Amino acid sequence: MKSSKTKIPATRAWIAWSLLLCFETLCQISLKQAGRVTGPFDFSPSAFASAISTPWIWVAIGCYIGAFLAWMTILRKSTLSAAFTTSAIVFIAVMFSSWLVFGEYIGWLRLLGSIVIVVGILMIGADETASASEVPPSTAGTGPS
């Protein structure tokens, strides 16, 4: 029987990925809502004042901070190339959230694109798992020679 200590890193990784997905998605929804509330943005002082006066901007800033912390946790245990490409799952979450929250249209091409993204992420994950078992621990993470 395996000890629970071996499961903690995997659990932390899933939690970090879930938090990243939630923070990034909520951030984009909040920014869209802030834009709807404040109206056109022209980089004037009054436009900045209007933007920072909406709670949606502050939700977005909080989400950026939360996403940063989740991302740092993910990068501690993942390669940048695999983690960055896997983060593309956020595109799909934002697309479906914008459909749910704002009623935005999702056509067949977007759905097909989402499937392509998910398949690509699964392929990258499979390749990462295979290559991780091939790299000796003493050279893992040292970069190109």
Take residue 8 and report the two structure tokens written for it.
């903690």
Number of domain units in the chain: 1
pLDDT digits (tens, 9 = 90+) for 100-141: 999 999 999 999 999 999 998 888 877 665 555 554 554 455
Measure CA 2 to chain center. Answer: 31
Contact 57, 51 (CB under 8 A): yes
CA dist 110 and 106 (Å) reads 6
Residue 144 forms part of a structural domain: no
Residue 139 forms part of a structural domain: no
Residue 38 forms part of a structural domain: yes
Residue numbers of the domain that contains 114: 6-134
CA dist 6 and 9 (Å) reads 7
Question: What's the farthest any 2 CA atoms get from each other in the chain?
Answer: 63
Contacts for 47 with CB less than 8 Å, ≥ 6 apart: 38, 40, 41
Residue 141 forms part of a structural domain: no
State the pTM of this model. 0.76
Residue 95 forms part of a structural domain: yes
Residue 75 has a pLDDT of 92
Residue 60 forms part of a structural domain: yes
Range 26-43 average pLDDT: 92
Contact 71, 20 (CB under 8 A): yes
Range 81-93 average pLDDT: 89
Residue 30 forms part of a structural domain: yes
Residue 5 has a pLDDT of 46
Residue 97 forms part of a structural domain: yes
